[in-house]
Amino acid sequence: MCGIVAYIGAGQAQPILIEGLKRLEYRGYDSAGLAVLDDAGLRLARSVGRVANLEEKLEKLGGFRGTIGVAHTRWATHGGVSETNAHPHRDDRAGICLVHNGIIENYASLRKYLEERGHRFTSETDTEVLAMLIGELYDGDLEAAVQAALREVTGAYAIVAMCEREPDVLVAARKGSPLMLGIGNGEYVLASDPSAIVAHTTQAIALDDYNVARVSRDGFRTSTVDNIDVTPRVMQLELDLEQIELGDFPHYMLKEIFEQPAALRNTMRGRLDTKEGKVVLGGLNSLAKELVRARKIILTAQGTALHAAMIGEYLLEDLAKIPCECEYASEFRYRNPIIEEGTVVVAVSQSGETADTLAALHEARDRGALALGVVNVVGSTIARDTDAGVYLRVGPEIGVASTKAFVGQVAVLTMISMFMARRRFMSPEASARMIAEMEQVPDKIERVLSLNDEIRRVTERYVERNNWLFLGRGYNYPTALEGALKLKEISYIHAEGMPAAEMKHGPIALIDDGMPVVFIANKGNQYDKVINNIEEVRSRGGHVIAIATEGDEQIREVAQEVIHVPEVADSLSPMVTVVPLQLIAYHAAVLRGHDVDKPRNLAKSVTVE
């Protein structure tokens, strides 16, 4: 769960690498490092902390000059956070330098073998083991040494290597961790995602698993680890540089919260046909008959995407009347799941690279399931490894705490549910009514965003409290889970989300005088039940922050704080009710002085198990 960037061309490598690291810093930020080859050999610098610390160190060193280099920003897996454990790593004999994302599972046995061969390790990382292994196998051909080494390792990797003895060559490879090659005019940029490439070129190839790329200034060659030639597919990056700039916002998270209306309109554009009362999903048209005949749907995801998938479970059962299960991908992959004929598995992931979700998807496909993907990143691994799918189209999400991707995932799962429902039980009139309501959701989110200052003031009154509860029922139980997760992720306040009715079966013991309890209490078919749950909290001294429907003034009699949101159909309400919860989390983090976009211990794309 780190960021790789590498460059070879006519320009100076260091500024290009630093720029790329800054764009990738959201992927990991406990340490960073950079290596450049020049006429004198390998120049390497590493530092603990943010990329800015590495910049300062390079400035003190006088900078590195050279037109080929590799760089890395780390999120620790093997070994603590230290300069010694930071990437790049090098072998101790052949002058090979390596950056690596992923986990080498058999590193311990490889390390023992290499120590017996006389190699001496300076770090605790699995990456140094891989660098030494390549060095051990090197015989004048870096590409061949990388291929041979990768045939000996198990686990996940995205790597870029360079060698002092071959100063005009980069060799890259991937398995289970993303890596792209940007193709410019006489220059090439390798990176973990497009954000580090688009400033230089919009032409790129996404390496597939077990692919190796040998890149020189004259061109590139792609093959497998067994040295079989591969013909890559060059794609156009659908990313505007302006989309990944901060603009006038203080943080990417706030920018992305405020982008949600526009992002949602983009998600729905061309997919909702009000006149015909149907949803048009080009990515699913070829499988429409199989989906109609499906006997069971399994949604699998992790983190925020799991909460969206839980809402999808409610939607598919409610609208399409089809049995549905929602599974933690990390648990699903290690169980013995029952995949019967007619089972459809839907993998939900913003990045399309989430390791656990990808592994669950492969397990389901191996057992005969029809596989669909709901992802944001075009060309990602899940998008390529599924039978069909639907893109979110919400634009790049840089903030580690997901916001607009969650709303996009819920919107796409809503449209998939309606796509199936219309072909199964839903009448054209009912479908048209729901489509019309869905088209109004972006405007309703804008009205919630206008309450930003009010939400900040509410948050300020409770920000010093270290324990919060988030409660909801029905469609908004997963929304409550998402609200609690957001608060935990970026403010480091302990928070729990749960069904409102579950509270009295044990968690009610946690409530003490003044404890903030956030209720999603919008008007819906369980509104009266939620009011009863609020009374249970009040009687025990808890302070209620209610997310209520506009016009509901009666709720002020039972809640200390009320944040009104526009009225919306129950099945569409999570896309609206989650927005004040996102803003509460954001303001709590800012008020507590935390780095909103780079919360401790977290990385954006979890590409390791």
| Domain limits, the chain | 3-244, 252-440, 452-591
What does the mean pLDDT of the chain come to? 91
Both tokens of residue 600?
Answer: 């401790």
What are phi and psi for residue 39, nearest 5 degrees?
-60, -25
CA dist list (Å): 286 to 271, 294, 312, 387: 16, 14, 21, 10
Question: How much is the pLDDT for 81?
Answer: 82
Beta strand ranges found along 28-143 (DSSP E)? 31-38, 41-48, 68-74, 89-90, 96-101
> What pLDDT is attached to residue 246?
76
d(CA 338, CA 340): 6
Choose between 124 and 9: higher pLDDT: 9
| pLDDT tens string 560-581 | 999 999 999 999 999 999 999 9
Helix (H, G, I), strand (E, B) or coil at 563: strand
Residues annotated catalytic, as ranges: 2, 604
**Cα(583)–Cα(403) distance, integer angstroms:** 10
Same fold: 3-244 with 252-440:
no
pLDDT, mean of residues 202-221: 93
Give the pLDDT score at 47. 92
Lowest mean pLDDT among 167-176, 356-365, 440-449, 532-541: 532-541
Cβ atoms < 10 Å from Cβ of 378: 17
Of 26-35, 432-441, 465-474, minimum mean pLDDT range? 26-35
pLDDT > 70? residue 606: no
Identify whether the C-beta of residue 535 lies closer than 8 Å to the C-beta of residue 558: yes
The CATH class of the 452-591 domain is alpha beta
The SS3 assignment for 381 reads helix
Cβ–Cβ under 8 Å, residues 337 and 363: yes
- Distance between CA atoms of 537 and 558, rounded to whole angstroms? 10
C-alpha 589/C-alpha 593 separation (Å) is: 6
Q: Determine whether domain 3-244 maps to CATH 3.90.1310.10.
A: no
Q: Is the peptide bond before 88 cis (omega within 30 degrees of 0)?
A: yes
Q: Which residues contact 214 (CB under 8 A, 6 or more apart)?
A: 142, 143, 169, 170, 171, 220, 221, 222, 223
Q: What is the pLDDT of residue 245?
A: 75
Contact present, 507 and 498 (Cβ < 8 Å)? yes
Percent of the chain past pLDDT 90, that is, above it, reads 68
The residues facing 89 across adjacent strands are 98
- Side chain identity at 403, as an amino acid letter? T
Asked if residue 545 has pLDDT above 90, the reply is yes
Structure tokens at 240: 């505007």
pLDDT higher than 60, residue 1:
no
What count of other Cβ atoms lies within 10 Å of the Cβ of residue 11?
14
Q: Is the dihedral of CA 291, 293, 298, 304 positive or negative?
A: positive
pLDDT tens digits for range 65-122: 999 999 998 876 666 788 888 899 999 788 999 999 888 989 999 999 999 999 999 8
Q: Cβ-count burial of 209 within 10 angstroms (0-12 exposed, 13-18 middle, 19+ buried)?
A: middle
Crossing angle of helices 126-137 and 142-150, in 10° steps, is 120
Average pLDDT over residues 542-551: 94
Q: Specify the CATH architecture of the domain 252-440.
A: 3-Layer(aba) Sandwich (3.40)
Which pLDDT score is estimated for 396?
A: 87
CA separation for the pair 506, 495 (Å, rounded): 15
Query: Tell me, what's the pLDDT at 89?
Result: 93
Alpha helices, H only, 282-328: 288-292, 303-319
Q: What contacts 167, CB < 8 A, 6 or more positions away? A: 37, 68
pLDDT for the residue 309: 98
Distances (CA, A) of 218 to 143, 186, 188: 16, 7, 10
Q: Give the model's pLDDT for residue 174.
A: 93
Q: Specify which residues 370 forms β-bridges with.
A: 344
Please say if the pLDDT value at position 238 is more than 90.
no
Reported as a pLDDT band with limits 50, 70 and 90, residue 371 is very high
Please report where in the chains the tokens 């003895």 appear, as a residue: 165
pTM listed for this prediction: 0.83
C-alpha to C-alpha distance for 480 and 486, rounded to whole angstroms: 10
Query: What is the helix (H) or strand (E) element at residue 182, kind and residue range?
Result: strand 180-183
